[in-house]
Amino acid sequence: MEKLRRHALDLRNFDLRGAFNHDPQRAEKLSLSFGDWRIDFSRQKINDETLALLREYAEKTDLPRWVAALFSGETLNHTEKRAALHTALRQQEEGASFARREILRDVRGAQQAMKTLSERLRCGALLGASGKPVKTVVNLGIGGSSLGPQLVCDALLRADDFDVRFVSNLDAEDLERALLGLDRETTLLIVASKTFKTEETLTNARAALDWLQADGGNKQELLNRHFVAVTASDEAAKAFGIAPENILPLWDWVGGRYSLWSAVGITIAIQSGWQTFVDLLAGAAAMDKHFHETPIAHNAPIMLALIDWWNTCFAQIGERIVVPYAFGLRLLPAYLQQLLMESNGKRIDWDGNDLHKTAGARSAVSVWGGIGTDSQHAFFQWLHQGSHRANIEFIVPTRYRGQSQRVGLLAHALAQPQALMCGHDCDFEIDTANATDEDIARAARVCPGNRASTMLLLPDLNAWHLGALLALYEHRAFIEGVLYRVNPFDQFGVELGKALACPLHNALERNTTLADADAVTQAQLLYVQRFRK
């Protein structure tokens, strides 16, 4: 760590333009490949010595052992005493050692059930209570039970795909909009909840059942024909009224933000076909293999995680911004917020130390973003001329729908990192004491440049490449957790607000006060009670 701190001081005035002028081979030396991907981090404020020190630290931290532990099923989620075996969900080779054999057997059984259900739906063989074939599926879930599958469905959507919709928010309007114009007789509800206790999901499920019953009909028959559950709690799903044969399994070793590879991804298979889901799994499995077997210097998830960690802890860059130049990836920033910030947004390390009180320690940075070119007309002004330090990541599929328009989009995607690095009129200095209006106008146009970025170039945005991309981010999050020395697989902070909401819910229902609430909450409660009806 001390070597890296001293090195960071040496690089505090690092100039990207000068670095490229000094080393014409920099772009080739500071890039990686994964198959036919190009992963270019030459516009990061690092040099050969930085990479050598990061690799040295990775060896000292024994990152390869952590990678092996992930795939062998060790209990990496130590606070909840669980393994993190999401890679088993996409394992393709029966004889591989990625997970215990009995787990692979369970996964294969779940996948067969998913295949059967999705194919019955797509060919019109699944009938509702009135005997009409199901034509629309509405997924009820939140967090990992919605973000991942919705991202994939949105990214891979084609005009002739099966109609799949997503509802996650507790606000009734989310469900109302999803159900707008749908036929009750031809709609299937999928309730995705690991515990089958999630308030948002179950509230929406009960409201959806009421919607189904609006025209009459036997409640249990409607549940039997129009509801499917994806859960690790069969008994809770059965208590809700869902037929046992309509329950797809989850397991406690599947974290919510990794669950799109499980039966939670049934919506992907329904919308785009079983082979598409298989291709998604295959792409992720290829990235798993790369992550598991590739030496540190050429390992894309490890090297990108090391650079992310360097930016956070040593370069003092506090923002990570993801900008995909593909409309199909418009939901990726929201997906990554959960993956990265829920995984590594922690204050306590493995040993119970408070990271805010530990010298040199940091927790994960904030992650946000948007799609190009829309973002160029929004927050790119802040990127080019703002005073905050940010690290920008561009994701660019080179072959992707609308070939004639794609050329223009690719030109913008290549131009933005160049503009961030080179800037405009960088050497202009204004003498404010004697400045003319022309001087002030010119100063306002200066873009200082020297802004760090990474470029991920993919040949295509199909299911295989999308699967590999999402697995890349998963493994980066895991390695960053190891580097931060936090558990990336628990999320106790999520529970606090839920626990506090329960007594407030009761007070609102009964129109009473809440004796043990703080003064501010009490005042807000009274205000809400005054106007809520």
Sequence length of the chain is 533
Nearest to 222 by CA among 202, 205, 199: 205
In terms of domains, do 66 and 182 share one?
Answer: no
Assess contact for 79 and 93: CB atoms under 8 A. Answer: no
Does 80 map to a domain? no
The arithmetic mean of pLDDT across residues 372-386, rounded, is 96
Residue 22's pLDDT is 95
pLDDT at position 406: 82
Looking at the structure, do residues 273 and 324 belong to the same domain, yes or no? no
In a shared domain, residues 48 and 134:
no
- Averaged over 450-469, what is the pLDDT? 97
Strand partners, 2: none
Whether residues 479 and 519 fall in one domain: no
Share of the chain above pLDDT 70, in %: 96
Domain count, the chain: 3
Residue 364 belongs to domain spanning: 2-72+294-349+360-484
Mean per-residue pLDDT, 255-281:
97
Q: Is the pLDDT of residue 97 over 90?
A: no
Confidence of residue 533 (pLDDT cuts 50, 70, 90): low
pLDDT in tens, 30-74: 999 999 999 999 999 999 999 999 999 999 999 999 999 999 889
- CA geometry: angle 382, 370, 191, nearest 5 deg: 145
Does 288 have pLDDT greater than 90? Answer: yes
Q: Is 418 part of any domain?
A: yes
In a domain, 287, yes or no: no
Average pLDDT over residues 423-448: 93
pLDDT tens for 510-529 read 888 888 888 999 899 989 98
Q: Which of 51-65, 236-250, 251-265, 404-418 has the lowest mean pLDDT?
A: 404-418
Quick one: pLDDT at residue 100? 66
Amino acid at residue number 347? R
Mean pLDDT on 19-33: 96
Closest C-alpha among 423, 413, 410, 415 to residue 451: 423
Classify residue 289: in a domain, yes or no: no
Q: In what order do the strands lie in the sheet with 31-34?
A: 31-34, 37-40, 453-460, 390-399, 319-324, 366-369
Cα distance between residue 321 and residue 390, in whole Å? 7
What pLDDT sits at residue 41?
Answer: 98
Say what the pLDDT of residue 403 is: 62
Q: Is residue 65 part of a domain?
A: yes
Statement to judge: residues 47 and 149 lie in one domain: no
The enclosing domain of 184 has a CATH number of 3.40.50.10490
- What rounded mean pLDDT belongs to the chain? 93
Do residues 243 and 303 share a domain? Answer: no
Mean pLDDT of 470-478: 98
402 vs 154: which has the higher pLDDT: 154
Q: Contact at 8 Å (CB) between 241 and 191?
A: no
Please check whether residue 288 lies inside any domain of the structure: no
User: 354 lies in a domain?
Assistant: no
Cβ atoms 315, 497 nearer than 8 A: no
Asked if residue 390 has pLDDT above 80, the reply is yes
Measured CA to CA, the distance from residue 254 to residue 143 in angstroms comes to 13
If asked whether residues 257 and 313 sit together in one domain, one would say: no
Asked which of 231, 251, 277 is the last residue of a domain, the reply is 277
Q: Which residues are catalytic?
A: 342, 377, 498
pLDDT at position 393 over 70: yes
Q: What is the pLDDT of residues 198-208, one digit of tens each?
A: 999 999 999 99
Query: 94 pLDDT exceeds 80?
Result: no
Domain termination site, one of 229, 250, 277 = 277
Final residue belonging to a domain, choices 221, 246, 277: 277
Residue 262 belongs to some domain of the structure: yes
pLDDT, mean of residues 484-507: 90
Q: Is residue 377 pLDDT above 90, yes or no?
A: yes
Task: State whether 475 and 514 are in the same domain.
Answer: no
Summarize the confidence of residues 420-425 as an average pLDDT: 95
- Looking at the predicted structure, is the pLDDT value of residue 182 above 80? yes
First to last CA, the chain: 58
Residue 328 and residue 225 share a domain:
no
Reported confidence tier of residue 3, pLDDT bands at 50, 70, 90 = very high
Residues 28, 123 within the same domain:
no
Same domain, 99 and 179: yes
**What is the model's pTM?**
0.95
Tell me: do 451 and 332 sit in the same domain: yes
Question: Cβ(230)–Cβ(191) under 8 Å?
Answer: yes
pLDDT of res. 360: 57
In the prediction, which pLDDT does 51 show?
A: 97
pLDDT (0 to 100) of residue 497: 87
